Structure 1
Amino acid sequence: MNIDVEKENKTLLKMYRNLLQKASPYLQGDDQKTIRKAFVFATEAHKDMRRKSGEPFIYHPVAVATIVTEEIGLGTTSIVSALLHDVVEDTEYTFNDIETHFGSKVAKIVEGLTKISETSAKGDSLQAENFRKMLLTISEDIRVVLVKIADRLHNMRTLESMPKDKRLKIKSETEYIYAPLAHRLGLYNIKSELEDLSLKYSDRRTYDEISEKLRKSEPARVKFTNTFTEPIKRDLDRMGIKYRIKSRTKSIRSIFNKMRKQNIPFEEVFDLFAIRIIFGSTMEMEKAKCWQIYSVVTDHYRPNVSRLRDWVSMPKANGYESLHTTVMGPEGHWVEVQVRSERMDEIAEKGYAAHWKYKEKGKGGAQNGKPREQGIESWLNAVREMMENDKMSAIEFLDDFRSNLFNKEVFAFTPKGDLKVFPKGSTVLDFAFDIHTEVGAKCLGAKINGRLVPLNHELKNGDQIEILTANKPKATEGWLQFVKTSRARAKIKSYLKEDKRKMSELGREIVERKLKQMHLPFNDRTLKQLKDYFGLQTELDLYSQVGEGIIDHTEIKKFNEQHKQNEKLRSEKIVPETAKEFKKRIRRIRQDGDELVIGEDMESVHYSLAKCCNPIFGDDIFGFITINNGIKIHRTNCPNAVSMMANYGYRIIKARWANSQDSEYEIKLKVEGTDRVGLVNDVTKIISTQMCVNIKSISIDTESSIFKGTIGLSVHDTDEADNLINNLKDIDGIVKVIRLEE
């Protein structure tokens, strides 16, 4: 490869100057010298390194530092940390070197961004351990997470050069943790881009189709926006209000979600964009001006009162403030209008970093006597509290953490009128634990608006709640099934822990004894296989269930029988434990690659098609190495794919279909429509006579002239399945035809 060093140096210098230009609003004193020092240090450290794309590695940290300042709005410490974030992980430099040259704050952030080595990982999932390590820094310095989000954004923007299995792993981690985390911290633009790029690498065809349709429909949207806003502009100008109006197009992922959820084509997604009115104002006048502008909009267009969202009076938990309304615009189209001040817009664009900017300037504002940033601070406090429970496995920790990332909220009040905010779906028990740990542990139920309700009753907006308690703690394992908040989960687990520990000691002795009787080693590998066989996350769960008799000796015996079968298989076929092991072993058989070929490798590799998504020839697929059942082949858009890839990337292998296949695959189609005489005959005629496809099963129910049916079929590939679906959609009366995943 010919390398034009001079050209690369010019590009790097241009990137560095662009970084300084974007950072200039945040720089003071010697900040520019400090950034230059970090840039020189990083350039020297990474001088012989290149990315998968072939470009110099140093481009990456400079790009991340630019995102940190331009798109998130962070200052010098974060910029320096971004420039240095890969130095310790990828070079000979240590944290002490970073601290000596750049101070303890930068060293601490870089440490939070540095991955755990494979040798020091303690649990089943190195990925989950790394997530936990990074997320634990939230309680010390949230800039670690913000820089990591910037790092992930640049990796996603440059993912094309990575091999397919790595792309799938990285996009799944992004979808699983980084996009929800960006959303929770108010970084809406970054969240949307991360989700769009995740779709691009899991379903490229759909991504390209929506992108192209958005591009083609843009002139019509611009024309519509101009027509819609003309009378509003006229009134605002006459009133002397300083404002700007912009149109915000829905993200590709959210359009895709709407199309899939409602089973409609792109052309029927009417809320493709929103009109945003941003005005200048003092803090004191913001709320009044929002409603003044709302009044102007509704003077011209009829509002849908059920779609009014007042996040000015009651900001979202991540600090988002705006007034949203949906009105009937020209040509019978519903249009969402968002009204917000410049300050609100900056917080909406740059999230948590903008919060701190206004807080430090003393412009955080107050709502009902409480600071506006209370919501995001409350969430951070809840996260910090959850992190005190260091007994959780990394996977369990991640599940609890993710449950706190999704911010649909419900507002409830104490008997004295204090406002409490919870995730949607929270129950009386979550409310009780939020008041006090003891109140939660002794909770019997509650009175809501004077009416008695059980402790699993879901909270609704505006509920006023009085908790009823017993004299002694009543916490049980079953409570974990209906609490939503990590605080409640952590406190219930701590109450149950002591009993569980006693049972687990007994269970451990039983497991050790049984394994010895069956001549199996009592080691990490066997225990991992046992956990996976019984579908458990931790060894503590395994031991306690054995101790309590939930798992008895006959079931352990069944595990032994399957274990023997697996060992027999291992002697006959490749049954790997990691992707690395698979690649080594498959290359001994086939020199030309490191992927599993479906249809050719059945004799040498133990694999099967996953039931959760039923892949067929033509689907994009990947292999997942299970503990006890060989390799399972999943579709890349399988509902379980994101979680598997995000937590167990080391078990993901590349897979493809053989070039030619004679196999048939079973699929199920869900069909809905309006009933009429002869409809079923038309359906079976298309399938059996016109397309010569074998019907395996058919079930149709009719109610009030609406029919719903499920048809099981044998097809050769995705082209045949797609043609069949399109032909069925053309039948008079058929409204919906979709391929079921299970």
Structure 2
Amino acid sequence: MLRQYELVERVKAYNPDADEAILNRAYVYTVQKHGSQKRASGDPYFSHPIEVAGLMTELKLDQETIVTALLHDTVEDTLATIAEVEEFFGPEIARLVDGVTKLSKIETLTENERAAENLRKFFLAMSEDLRVLLVKLADRLHNMRTLHFIKSEEKRRRIARETMDIYAPLAERVGMYEYMREMQLLAFEQLEPEAYATITGRLAQIRNEGGGQVDAIAFDIKQALAEAGLQVEVVGREKHPYSIWRKMSERHVTFEQITDIMAFRVITETVDDCYKALGVLHQTWQMIPGRFKDYISTPKTNGYRSLHTALIYANSMRMEVQIRTHDMHRTNGFGLAAHWAYKQGGVKPDGQVAWLRDLIEIVDASHDADELLEHTKLAIYQDRIFAFTPKGALHQLPKGATAVDFAYAVHTDLGNAAVGAKINGRHVPLRTQLANGDVVEIIKSKRSGPQLPWLGFVVTGKARAAIRRGVRAKERQEVATIGSKLFDEIAGRIPGRIGRKAIGAAVRRLNLKDEEDLMFAIGSARLTDRQVMEALVPGSTDELPDDQDWPRQEQAISIRGLTPGVGFELAECCHPVPGDRIVGLRRPDQKVEVHTIDCMSLANGVDADWLDLSWGERTTGAIGRLRLVLYNRPGTLAEVTQIFARNRANVANLQMIQRDEPFGTYEVDLEVSDLAHLTRIAGSLRASEAVADAERI
């Protein structure tokens, strides 16, 4: 553990103007506050914040960050308060300490909810000041270094999993690769102990058997570059054990089948020397196609810059080589932390802004704990591709990202308005996955909006959050429209005219936000007719019996602009289409379920409010289902699909139900405009020589 004078000397070594008094005061404060508290290792608890502060000095961070590291657990684990911290150390440090302070465990919440709430607070604080993240990562790294002292295996594994899922990817996203690798290694040891022991054992065996093989290869690389007039440093090492295990898992190969276990770093003086060194290495040893990456011309989001290549050495041995300058090497080890060093004047690096903004948007949009965790993990994992706008702006996305993900990466409004895409000048579906270097043009329409099916193929957290937020808003609007029409009926049963004043009073009595909230509550069956009447005119239901049978609607509610799956759901049992007589089933906090009036599932009665519905104009998205019996011979399906095309019907789903020679029975879902359209298609099918029978389901 660092002594008080040692910590101060470390800070003074890179910041001679540091305030010794505040550093000494913070050191004494944390020792006094944590007092006799002990860690699982048996060490005094205050040794932990002191070691975290020591990690911050290694990054040469400002004195406010060092003091924050010393105090980061005092508010949570002692009687100290944020107000007291502000009184003794000032508002800036109090703000940083509050941002880093972990939430107390809330036993009534699930593990996911606890994690989600910690993340929510963490990202919001982090967006205001990156130093919150730097202290938190150092806090987690030191806790991982002492994790083996915790007796409970379940608790060790839980902490390790959280580290692997959240903190290691976060360290990668801000370029702190040294922290990331150590966190992954320590978490890997807890999560996969047998694999960890096997891989580290095999690496030790190779190290012993190979004698000085790594040093010999490093010498050969350095000599080849020296003969070309390049003075460089070459460092060799085995690949990270967790990296080896992940490659084994993803490729389903054994340890012996992994051929590029050795990796080397070539450190040059200038950027020009990086490219010269690359040329020399490619001329000296055969390069492996597809393994070259230029992160100097196109840096990663976190500022990482380097040339990556893979070569075949003697005896078909494969090796990875990274080439970078001394400055890149320093930045690549500790990323954005290096930019926050005291010598840089504490200026926020621009690289953090974009992805932090995305994370905050995800936090704001997330509906529940599981959604937040899902979106956040998607947003911070590291496998990336690069794509360009037509004007040349570069965007980084996860592997597997689609045109919709790209649209939302450019701007949320562009994603919401997307109706099509061009990739490299060619029209493609929105679900098309992007490749490195693609030029993507998004085609938009003011009338469009986020579509529920997009959730089936987007991969970025930002896109998922925006789509869900847009769909929820549309659903709320549609349900509120239903509620508004039901409100008119309810108000019509009360003697006298109901004005704006009465509605405002009802909103207040029901503890709702506004009139729209009232209509949504009615439409979603959160309020009964009796409750609404009583809120509008207190006492208006006193003389009504509790089992009052309310009169049915005099007029059908039109579901104009119906969007299946949003505010309404078209029942799977009867597949209603415009032209059918329909009825709606309304249950609390569920979408209105639309059935045909003669649907067999309604025959025995259902426990729900019945709404008399009618189809509005310009209704879209209705699906009609037909059962087809086709002759089992070549060309039959082709002829049927031509009938669909001639009738302008899009096939949503086609499935064979049974084969009974010489026939095949199929069920087909068709997007149709109305009942007449579906009937016309069925008639065309029956007239075909390829179709034995066609009937609506």
Do both proteins adopt the same fold according to a TM-score greater than 0.5, normalized to the shorter chain?
Answer: yes
Shift of the alpha carbon at 1:298? 2.4
Instruction: Name 1:546's counterpart in structure 2.
Output: 590
Q: Cα gap change, 1:174/1:352 in structure 2, threshold over 3 Å: closer, same or farther?
A: same
Give the aligned partner of residue 379 of structure 1.
355
Q: Which has the larger radius of gyration?
A: 2
Aligned equivalent of 2:191: 202
Quick one: distance in 2 between partners of 1:444 and 1:249? 48
Equivalent pair of 1:26/1:75 in contact (CA under 8 Å): no
Aligned to 1:568: none
Task: Give the SS at the match of 2:61.
Answer: coil
Aligned to 1:65: 53
1:338 corresponds to 2:361: no
Q: Are the equivalent residues in 2 in contact too, given 1:68–1:82 (CA < 8 A)?
A: yes
Q: Spell out, residue by residue over 1:499-558, the C-alpha distance to the aligned partner (whole angstroms, 9 max, x if none).
A: 333547468636999xxx9xxxxxxxxxxxxxxxxxxxxxxxx9887234499999xx99
Further displaced range: 18-27 or 137-146: 18-27
Which residue of 525, 529, 554 maps to 1:509?
525
- Name the residue aligned to 2:389: 414
Which secondary structure does the structure 1 equivalent of 2:422 belong to? strand
TM-aligned CA distance change 1:422 to 1:239, over 3 Å = same
1:312 aligns with 2:356: no
Q: Is contact 1:507–1:547 with CA below 8 Å preserved after alignment? A: no
- The reply to whether residue 249 of structure 1 matches residue 245 of structure 2 is no
- The answer for the alignment partner of 2:402 in structure 1 is 427
The correspondence of residues 384-533 of structure 1 with structure 2, limited to 5 A, is 384-389=360-365, 392-501=367-476, 503=479, 505=521, 509=525
1:279-316 per-position Cα deviation (integer Å, ceiling 9, x unaligned):
233xxxx1x11111112222321112321111111111
Alpha-carbon distance in structure 1 between the residues aligned to 2:342 and 2:386: 25
Say whether the 8 Å CA contact 1:319–1:376 is kept in structure 2: no
In structure 1, the partner of 2:212 is 223
AA of the residue aligned to 1:351: G
Whole-Å separation in 2 of the counterparts to 1:327 and 1:16: 49
3-state secondary structure, aligned to 1:344? helix
Residues 154-165 of structure 1 correspond to what in structure 2 (within 5 A)?
Answer: 154-162=142-150, 163-165=152-154
Aligned residues: 503
CA contact (8 A) 1:15 1:63 kept: no
Q: Specify the code of the residue in structure 2 equivalent to 1:94.
A: T
Does residue 76 (structure 1) correspond to residue 63 (structure 2)? The answer is: yes
- Say which SS state the counterpart of residue 404 (structure 1) adopts: helix
C-alpha contact 1:231 1:300 (8 A) present in aligned 2: no
> Could you say what secondary structure the match of 2:122 adopts?
helix
Q: Structure 1 CA distance, aligned partners of 2:45 and 2:225?
A: 50
Matches within 5 A, 1:235-246: 235-238=224-227, 241-246=230-235
- Note if contact 2:10-2:57 (Cα within 8 Å) is conserved in structure 1: yes
Q: Is the Cα contact below 8 Å between 2:221 and 2:234 reproduced in 1? A: no
Structure 2 CA distance for partners of 1:189 and 1:30, relative to 1, 3 Å: closer
Query: What is the CA deviation profile of residues 139-177 of structure 1, one whole-angstrom value per residue up to 9, with x for unaligned ones?
Result: 101111221111111111111221222212211211221
2: distance between equivalents of 1:102 and 1:75? 14
Structure 1, residues 373-414: CA drift from partner, whole Å, max 9, x if none? 76543222322343443x632332222121111222222222
Residue 132 of structure 1 pairs with residue 129 of structure 2: no
Amino acid aligned to 1:329: Y
8 Å contact kept, 1:317–1:407: no
**Cα separation, 2, equivalents of 1:545 and 1:75:** 52
Deviation of 1:225 after TM superposition, in Å, equals: 2.5
Q: Which residue identity does 1:491 align to in structure 2? A: A
Given that residues 303 and 328 in structure 1 are in contact (C-alpha distance below 8 angstroms), is that contact kept between their aligned partners in structure 2? Answer: yes
Shift in alpha-carbon separation, 1:506–1:18, aligned structure 2, 3 A:
farther
1:323 maps to 2:307: yes
Residue-by-residue CA offset, 1:36-57 (whole Å, 9 max, x unaligned): 2211110111111111222111
Aligned to 1:94: 81
2:355 corresponds to which letter in structure 1? W
Asked if structure 2 preserves the Cα contact closer than 8 Å seen for 1:507 and 1:543, the reply is no
**TM alignment of 1:136-215, pairs within 5 A:** 136-162=124-150, 163-215=152-204
CA distance in 2, matches of 1:544, 1:454: 37
- What do residues 89-112 of structure 1 show as CA deviations (whole Å, max 9, x unaligned)? 111110011111111121111111
- Find the aligned partners of 1:216 and 1:553 in 2 and give their Cα distance: 72
Corresponding letter in the other structure for 1:394: A
The residue type paired with residue 108 of structure 1 is R
Tell me how far apart the structure 1 counterparts of residues 35 and 280 of structure 2 sit (CA, whole Å): 59
Q: Describe the shift of the 1:179–1:460 C-alpha distance in structure 2 as closer, same or farther (beyond 3 A).
A: same
Equivalent residue runs for 1:497-646 within 5 Å: 497-501=472-476, 503=479, 505=521, 509=525, 546-549=590-593
Residue 28 (structure 2) pairs with residue 28 (structure 1) = no
- TM-aligned CA distance change 1:280 to 1:23, over 3 Å: farther
Q: Cα deviations across residues 191-250 of structure 1 (Å, max 9, x unaligned)?
A: 122112112112323222222222232245562223323343234445554422111322
Alignment-derived partner of residue 221 in structure 2: 232
Structure 1 Cα separation of the partners of residues 523 and 154 of structure 2: 39
Q: Indicate the RMSD between aligned Cα atoms, in angstroms.
A: 3.4
1:392 counterpart letter in structure 2: H
SS at structure 1 position matched to 2:49:
helix
Distance 2:587 2:292 in 1: 52
Whether contact under 8 Å (1:26, 1:76) holds in the other structure is no
* C-alpha separation in 1, matches of 2:527 and 2:40: 46
Cα gap change, 1:131 to 1:363, in 2 (>3 Å): closer
The alignment partner of 1:446 has SS state of strand
| 1:108 corresponds to which of 83, 86, 95 | 95
TM-score, reference length from structure 1 = 0.62
Tell me the secondary structure at the aligned position of residue 275 of structure 1: strand
Q: Is the 8 A contact 1:507 1:546 kept in 2?
A: no
Give the whole-Å Cα distance in 2 for the aligned partners of 1:222 and 1:244.
21
**Equivalent AA in structure 2 for residue 509 of structure 1:** A
Q: Which has the higher contact order (CA 8 A, sep 6+)?
A: 1
The answer as to whether partners of 1:413 and 1:464 remain within 8 angstroms in 2 is yes
Tell me the percent identity: 35
Separation in structure 1 between the aligned mates of residue 254 and residue 594 of structure 2, nearest angstrom: 49
Q: Is 1:300 matched with 2:284?
A: yes
Amino acid at match of 1:158: T
Alpha-carbon offset, residue 334 of structure 1: 0.7
- Report the 3-state secondary structure (helix = DSSP H, G, I; strand = E; otherwise coil) of the residue aligned with 2:311: strand
Instruction: Return the offset for 1:179.
Output: 1.2
TM-score normalised by structure 2 residue count:
0.66
Checking the alignment, whether the CA contact within 8 Å between 1:89 and 1:115 is kept in structure 2 is yes
Q: Distance in 2 between matches of 1:553 and 1:30?
A: 78
Asked if the contact 2:416–2:450 (Cα under 8 Å) also holds between the matched residues in 1, the reply is: yes
Which deviates more from structure 2 when the two are superposed, residues 491-500 or residues 302-311? 491-500
CA distance in 2, matches of 1:84, 1:140: 19
SS at match of 2:181: helix
AA partner of residue 547 (structure 1): K
1:646-687 CA deviation, whole Å, 9 max, x = no partner? Answer: xxxxxxxxxxxxxxxxxxxxxxxxxxxxxxxxxxxxxxxxxx
Match of 2:380, SS state, is coil
CA distance in 2, matches of 1:544, 1:449: 48
Cα distance 1:406–1:203, how it changes in 2: closer, same or farther (>3 A)?
Answer: closer
2:659 corresponds to = none
Between the aligned partners of 1:247 and 1:295, the Cα distance in structure 2 is 20
| Offset at residue 274 of structure 1 (A) | 0.5
Distance 2:160 2:351 in 1: 29
